[in-house]
Structure 1
């Protein structure tokens, strides 16, 4: 593999390792084994790919990157690094500015009032999607995993479900782009789309019955209503932040369960185990490669880092840390006993994913509603499963089959 990036002078030669999570062939065909094998690399290494960036391997160090905003700023999240012309609120803010926005969003957009009907709505959408499957088979990615998260979110925002494909077009560019140009184009298209949509909604907000949109209108930051620029930024973050990630997580979890009858049957027979089992699967099947920028020159775990260096804190890497987990590639629903496994799948610290509850709800409903309806679930015969690399890892396609009963 070749790279045009010059290795910075402060990077020791022995710490240079190629790792291109957007384009490496190995990550397409057996991504989790490939990531688990990073245990043979230095704890912190520098990849000259994707513009050049540090890769953090120990889960405890990844947690520090997530939590220590004084050393690792969230003002730059993308790898490869993109310009800061489009800001996502609150994702691109550090405390204390981040704190006020996140608190207001958590107390309004993700409040019990805004999400009051999320359980029945999610079940209804999931059942409708299942009922549209050809009896006994489906292509899970396109027929369910892409549709459920965006339909739920469009419903919360009071947006017409016919807008699904328009949103997906730029979401795929942002998360699946293989270069800075492609991901940048995704953000440009997203910015334009959200601008038009939001202006239409604000022209007559009484027409929009979406509970999350109405919460956005009621929200105040430091006792002031957000202006249009802030509302657009928050809306763009909401549209882009949780759709691809939930879709990606669904594909890996269903792939695993389709190939593991014992794990699947346990969840069918003991649905009360789903909350604990889900956390273990979130640990095992991490999906996100999250960027930070070094805020100031400092030494981190014995490595000299310079202000402006890009850093990757990958949740798949954290979840497969062999120093943290015994047999990390194994899915063990009893790994934590009756307690939930603590993992970094939703990040940590001030930027802990604000939509974690929403994600867990959709994943739980998927397991509760689909597994009992798919007896003898299996991967379609002669199928080659391929991972689709990007800012998140997901499967390109997942053809599933199951027995049809009267």
Structure 2
């Protein structure tokens, strides 16, 4: 038994990955009495097993600490075979090339507009860009008014930044209320909404029938809670690293074609998500006895820093995967719950680098700035004041 509280540990405020790398000294699986008590897995290969072995580790209970009567988010809270049908539907409709047809163009347009709105040669990157781009892209694809941005961001912060069960639960309740209201309004005249992902959801068929209201509500809640905070969080850490590493930044500016490969190494190095599962039954795994319902944490930042999987894991090496090859990592999970929005996330992160880095020569963190990480279900910087030379 070892204390580890990913929502509140002070050690995660300054350099969370340096601290998480020390977990390599602990057992492959240990129990933390914090957050109501839960198991922590410290090896990449075993974290992969937790993601993949739904017969042992169920996705029907994800929150740590546990939330009683938490909303069911489709397909995240389902195990195969129920999960499989919904995932296939979403992959073939909501995340199809047709539904995401405008993603590249819209992301570039939004990214450029946000950059040109920055004050001369400086910005507070978290609030001026990282919070805004993912939510604006999502609302656009759903055909929702961008005026909803601040309301959505408020409850997303509650869900992911809540440090107690009460704070996290309040975030879910606010998200449920907003989504219920918005979806009811849209379905009153569905033809008026031309958002690609919304249209795909309305037109989707599962087992020969249309989705009912509760299914649409659950899917929309999942997209809101699962796909915004994570991209925002990843943006903040990647831009901090590049602002502090002129060598890596210059390489990407000079070799933009290398950005997709480099991005995978940064996703590996700066993992952000503490993902919950629960023991599906009583069983023994890797010498550890689990009881049905035991919470289990499979964290992508811990997986990415496992020296057995990634030698010298704290180093950022754009060639780690081999010549021109992407390093394999668990940043988007694995198994049946491999993140369905991975393409969406990668596109936004790639375009962020392609559009911003050439426009930010001499990029650096503003002198005297205090950079701190916000703890929670995902790790995000509280603020990131940046400066660069004006062209």
Pairwise TM-score range, normalised by the shorter structure: over 0.9
Between 1:84-93 and 1:262-271, the stretch displaced more is 84-93
Separation in 2, partners of 1:353, 1:326 = 25
Aligned residues: 390
Q: How does 1:327-342 map to 2 (within 5 A)?
A: 327-337=312-322, 338-342=324-328
Tell me the SS of whatever aligns to 2:332.
coil
Unaligned runs of 5+ in 2: none
Q: Which residue of 1 aligns with 2:364?
A: 378
For residue 367 of structure 1, give the secondary structure of its aligned residue in structure 2: helix
The reply on whether 1:251 has 2:224 as its aligned counterpart is: no
Residues of 1 paired with 2:153 and 2:326: CA distance? 33
Q: 2:159 aligns with which of 163, 174, 184?
A: 174
Counterpart among 120, 123, 135 of residue 150 in structure 1: 135
Unaligned runs of 5+ in 1: 1-15
Shift of residue 254, structure 1, vs aligned partner = 0.2
Aligned to 1:109: 94
Partner of 1:25: 10
Shift of 1:84: 3.3
Aligned to 2:56: 71
Report the equivalent of 2:259: 274
Aligned to 1:41: 26
Q: Distance in 2 between matches of 1:199 and 1:63?
A: 39
1:85 positional shift: 4.0
Would you say the 8 A contact 1:139–1:398 is kept in 2?
A: yes
Distance 2:345 2:70 in 1: 28
Shift of 1:283: 0.3
Residue 186, structure 1, aligned to residue 167, structure 2: no
Name 1:13's counterpart in structure 2: none
Q: Distance in 2 between matches of 1:43 and 1:192?
A: 41
Aligned to 1:299, which of 267, 280, 284? 284
Q: Is residue 258–residue 379 contact of structure 1 (8 Å, CA) maintained in 2?
A: yes
SS in 1 for 2:177: helix
State the distance in 1 between where 2:268 and 2:70 align.
33
Residues 152-208 of structure 1: CA deviation (Å, up to 9, x unaligned): 000000000010000001000000000111101110111011000000000011111
Structure 1 segments of 4 or more deviating over 3 A? none
Counterpart for residue 348 of structure 2:
362
Which residue number in structure 2 is paired with residue 53 of structure 1? 38
Q: Secondary structure at the match of 2:210?
A: coil
- Asked if structure 2 preserves the Cα contact closer than 8 Å seen for 1:38 and 1:57, the reply is yes
Return the alpha-carbon distance in structure 1 between the equivalents of residues 180 and 91 of structure 2: 23
Residue 374 (structure 2) pairs with residue 392 (structure 1): no
Name the SS of the counterpart of 1:209 in structure 2. coil
Contact 1:114 1:211 in 2 (8 A): yes
Aligned with 2:218 (options 222, 226, 233) = 233
Moved more, 215-224 or 171-180: 215-224
Question: What is the CA-CA distance between 1:262 and the residue it aligns to?
Answer: 0.6
Structure 1 partner of 2:187: 202
TM-score scaled to structure 2, two decimals? 0.99
1:344 is paired with a residue whose SS is coil
Q: Does 1:324 align with 2:312?
A: no
1:220 paired to 2:186: no
SS of match in other structure, 1:82: coil
Deviation of the 1:79 alpha carbon: 0.8
1:283 corresponds, among 268, 274, 278, to: 268
| Aligned mate of 1:343, from 301, 321, 329 | 329
Q: Confirm or deny: 8 A CA contact 1:76 1:84 kept in the other structure.
A: no
**Structure-1-length-normalised TM-score:** 0.95
- CA 1:328 to 1:85, structure 2 compared with 1: closer, same or farther past 3 Å? closer
